[in-house]
Structure formats: C-alpha cells, structure tokens
Amino acid sequence: MAAAPELTNVKQDDEEAPSNPPPEQPREDITFTSPPPPALVEPPVPDPFLVDDSASSQEDSENDRPSHPAVSDSQLSVQPAEEISLAASTTLPIPSPSSPAPTSSPDLNKSVPPTPAPLSDDDEDEEETPEVYLPALVHPTMFLPIPNTDPLTTLLTKYISDPSLRPARDLSGEWQGRDFHALVVTNSWRALARMARDRIVATDPEDISLILDLWYLRLASLARLRLTNQASAEMTNLFAVLYALQPPFARDFLLDRLLPFELEVLHARGKYWAGDHMGYLDALWALVRKCRRKAKEAGLRKKGAGRRSGADTSAEREMWVERGSRVVLIIASQLIEMKAGRDFSAATKLLAPLLNPTSHPTPELESAVARIYLQSGHLSVAARHIAEVEANPAASEAMKSMNAAMLATAEGDWPRAADALQRVLEKDPDNFAAVNNLAVVLLSQGLIKEGIDVLEKALRASPSTVVVAEPFLFNLSTLYELRSATAAQNKRNLLCEVAKWSGDGLKTACLKMPSN
C-alpha cells in the first residue's frame, strides 16, 4: 500500500514533462523497482500512565475511519486506468518516515506533566450551568386579551346618569411614553399588564431572567386587576412550559436558580384563587422548607472556602431567612382567614419560633403576633408582647402608640385609644392607618359626625392615597349610611372621587353600592 503514492508522483511528473523533448537532452532508460515489502515491527508496549499526544491523535483518527472487513495482501491489486509507455527509468529512493520508528521498549523515565490545577468554583459553576432556551415563553399565544371594562365603570354608568359628570377613565391600557414608576404609583395595572406582555414578546428567548421577571409583572398586574381567572390560566401556560424543559438537570437548574421567588409565591397563590385553601397552605409550607434549605446552604458556604466573601454569603443567608419569615406570616394570615374555623392557636404557634431571642425578632413581627392574640381574645398575652415592643429601642413611637391604641380598643377603653391615635396624627398627619382607626374609635363612642370629618379631611388632603385603601372607603360609606338620609348623594360623590383617583383594580364592594 505504500507504493501507491510513488506511482502517482511519477505519473504526475511524467504528465508535466513536454511531449517533444529538446535534442540536446538525451533520454535515459527508466527502470522501475518495486519497494521492499514493509517489515513487520512489533507494536510498542503501551504505557498505562503516560499518553503520547501523537499516538492518541493517531488512534482517534483510526477510530474515526469506517470499519471494513480485513483483506489480505494477495487480494489487493491496483488496476491502472490506461497503459503509459515510459522510455527511461531511474531508481527512486524510498522516502524516510517523518517520525522515528517506535522503540520496542517504552521509556519509563519519561517526564510526567504536572497535575492540572483544580477548577475554581466559578469555573465549575460555568461548566455546570446549562443553556436554557425556551422560545415558547415569548409566544403571543401564551396570553389572553384583557377586557376593556371594569366594575367601577359599571357603577358610574348605573349611578351617574349624566355622562358629563362621570370622570374620564383610561381603559385602553396604553403604556408607550409613560414612566414605569408613574404607572405603579397611579395604580395603572392595565397598562402595566400590557407593557409586560409586549416586552415579553419582543425579548430574546435566551434572556430567561428578564423574561421571568416580566412574567411576574404580568401576573401580578392581572391579580391587582382582580382578573384571577385569567392570571391562573396564563400562569398554567407558563409553568407548563417550565416543567416540560429537557433535560431534567436543566429544568432543575431553571426552577432552583433562575425562577424568581416572588413568582413561586404567586404560583402558590393560584391554589387560593381556585378555592383550594389546604393546597395553598401546603404550597406555602413547601416554600418555607426551600427557604430553610437555602439559608442552611448559605451558612455552610460561609464556614467553608466558598467563592464568595463572607459578607455576601451572610447577606444571602439573611435574605432567605427574611423570605421564610414573610411566608410564615402569610401562612398565619391564611390560618386566621380560613372560614372553616379560625385557628388562632395554630397561627401563634407557627410564629413562636420567629420570636426566639437568639434570632433578634423585629418589632414589626412582635406587633403582628400581639394583634393575633388580640383577635383571639388573649389580652394578657397580647399585653406582654406589646410591652416587649415598648422596651425595644428599634420600635418607632408611632408603632408604640398604635399598639397601645389597639390594646385599649380591645379592652373597651375608647378615650385612651383616641388619645393614643391623636398623638400619632400630631406627629404624622399622613398616617392614614391611624386616621382610619380614629374614625372607628369615634364611631364606637357615638361621634359619627366627627368620624366623617376625620375621614373626609384625609380624603381632601391626599385623595390618590386613601381611595385605594378599601377599609377606609368601607368605613366612610358606613358612616354616611348612619349619618343621615342623604347617604345616597354622599356615596355618589364618593364614587366620583374614587373613579377619578383610584386607578385600576379597586374592589367596588367597599363602596356598598350594588351593581345589579
């Protein structure tokens, strides 16, 4: 097989020679000599520890060749395409191989290359990070159209007969040219939902983090619009695509590393919208377990030699601890809200570990536990927690006064509660929670007119802030009904103010004006 290239070279040289040679160059006879048969050389003994690069590359090239059945030398023959007459012949030397022949014994004293340095944590993370590409997340068919009407417009049509007196409301959802923060402040959830949808469709499918953040904005805006059925349907489409990702390790990486935690909480909220309250509690508790696991992993990285500094790891651990605490508060609120028996004891037992002195509970958390005990009727235990908030230097004076007012209200001491709330409003007139509570205290004392004046003063001072507080509107409507027979006209005026300032997603039941 080694003689074939030589024949080709000779043929090529002969073809390149001129057909009529000059007379001054005599032609010589050329005789061909066949190359000697290849000598059989025993292959070298392979070294089990050293790998030669040339040998490995040769083996790779041989492995890449297609496999054929073995053929003996007698079966191989080269048939020339045509007869070529040659006048002269010369003996052509056999070219020496470019690489020396392998020795029969391996070199055991060959220098060993140094051991490669271990990969850093960053390199390992980069290698273990799978590429996630989900074009289905940005497909327009994932979304449903948003209705161009809302319950507040229905109430305006029913109770305000003159169209010129109805406040103009923007139900188009146009967001181009408007600032994002301005849309949030004005409660323009319809425009935010459309903006999220348009940006998702126009986003590169490879930018998974941005796409998931926009998906959270879309679903949260639909929830604020009270379109829970549509939010549940679109969320089902989203997680169907996420759970169908292959291979499994890429799906696990997506759900564990890239999926925003807020979107996971919203996914659990979908069970609440569907009426599955126990399933909602199970989903929330699964999130609590995840927060515990993540906080534990962050603590272990802090003790070991991780790629991050100790400060970053501590911040990550605190973040997961705070998230777990917030989810526990959601579970406690759900236990109290459930209609099948309000389980106050379970809520307080659930929050008890968060009040461990070693975990340095915040005064906000201590106040929340105190109010749960107030609702359950355990006034002595609530008073003990309120006293701990009083002794906490991190608690503000407004919080201490609000807690004192709540305790006085539970005990029936209305004058003391009114005094505490008045002190809060003297320092912070824009504390509308204190305004609302003061109106309730005045109502309990029979001072209906004074309660209406307090709420109407706050409504004139900051209408865009108070009209989105549904308890505030409910209490004001109740006081109108108790005050005089002109309650209908006062409630119509309140409806116009709410339609002018509230934005989208208001629960119109707080106005106590039926739509049918």
Q: What is the pLDDT of residues 108-134, one digit of tens each?
A: 454 544 554 444 444 444 446 788 889
Binning pLDDT at 50, 70 and 90, where does residue 47 land? very low
Average pLDDT of every residue of the chain:
79
Kindly state the average pLDDT of the residues 470-478. Answer: 95
Cα dist. 343→274, 339, 369, 373, 450 in Å?
Answer: 21, 10, 14, 11, 36
| pLDDT on residue 73 | 41
- Cα 262 to Cα 428: distance, rounded to the nearest angstrom: 32
Q: Which of 506, 504, 478 is nearest to 491 (CA)?
A: 478
| pLDDT tens-digit readout, 373-403 | 998 888 999 999 999 999 999 999 999 999 9
Tokens of 344: 């106050």
Is 93 part of a structural domain of the chain?
no
Kindly state the average pLDDT of the residues 252-256. Answer: 92
413: Cβ contacts below 8 Å, ≥ 6 apart: none
Residue listed under structure tokens 């549940």: 232
- Cα 156 to Cα 492: distance, rounded to the nearest angstrom: 9
Q: What share of the chain is helix, strand, coil (3-state, %, to 5)?
A: 60, 0, 40
Binning pLDDT at 50, 70 and 90, where does residue 310 land? low
Answer whether residue 291 shows pLDDT above 90.
yes
Q: At 309, phi and psi to the nearest 5?
A: -75, 165
| pLDDT on residue 78 | 40
Answer whether residue 28 shows pLDDT above 50.
no
Tokens of 57: 């590359």
The amino acid that residue 409 corresponds to is T
- Cα 432 to Cα 439: distance, rounded to the nearest angstrom: 11
| pLDDT on residue 306 | 53
Answer whether residue 452 shows pLDDT above 50.
yes
Is 98 part of a structural domain of the chain?
no
Is 230 part of a structural domain of the chain?
yes
Three-state SS across 294-340? HHHHHHHHHHCCCCCCHHHHHHHHHHHHHHHHHHHHHHHHHHHHCCC
Binning pLDDT at 50, 70 and 90, where does residue 307 land? low
Kindly state the average pLDDT of the residues 238-250. Answer: 94
Answer whether residue 3 shows pLDDT above 50.
no
Domain boundary among 275, 295, 320: 275
Q: Give residue 462's domain range.
A: 429-516
Domain boundary among 275, 298, 326: 275
Q: Report the length, in residues, of the chain.
A: 516
Q: Which of 166, 173, 172 is nearest to 152 (CA)?
A: 166
Q: What is the CATH number of the domain that holds 478?
A: 1.25.40
| pLDDT tens-digit readout, 334-350 | 988 885 556 788 888 88
Domain boundary among 241, 275, 309: 275
pLDDT-wise least confident of 104-108, 144-148, 375-379:
104-108
pLDDT-wise least confident of 126-140, 156-170, 187-201:
126-140
pLDDT-wise least confident of 158-167, 203-212, 348-357, 375-384:
348-357
Is 240 part of a structural domain of the chain?
yes
Is 513 part of a structural domain of the chain?
yes
Structural domain total, the chain = 2
Looking at the chain, the whole-number percentage of residues with pLDDT higher than 90 is 52
- Cα 111 to Cα 262: distance, rounded to the nearest angstrom: 57
| pLDDT on residue 112 | 46
Is 491 part of a structural domain of the chain?
yes
Angle at 457 between CA 454 and CA 458, to 5 degrees: 90
pLDDT-wise least confident of 76-80, 167-171, 433-437, 493-497:
76-80
| pLDDT tens-digit readout, 77-102 | 444 444 444 444 444 444 444 444 44
Provide the angle, in degrees to the nearest 10, between the axes of the packed helices 208-224 and 261-273.
Answer: 40
Is 348 part of a structural domain of the chain?
no
323: Cβ contacts below 8 Å, ≥ 6 apart: 261, 291
| pLDDT on residue 269 | 96
- Cα 495 to Cα 152: distance, rounded to the nearest angstrom: 8
- Cα 75 to Cα 370: distance, rounded to the nearest angstrom: 98
| pLDDT on residue 304 | 63
Is 242 part of a structural domain of the chain?
yes
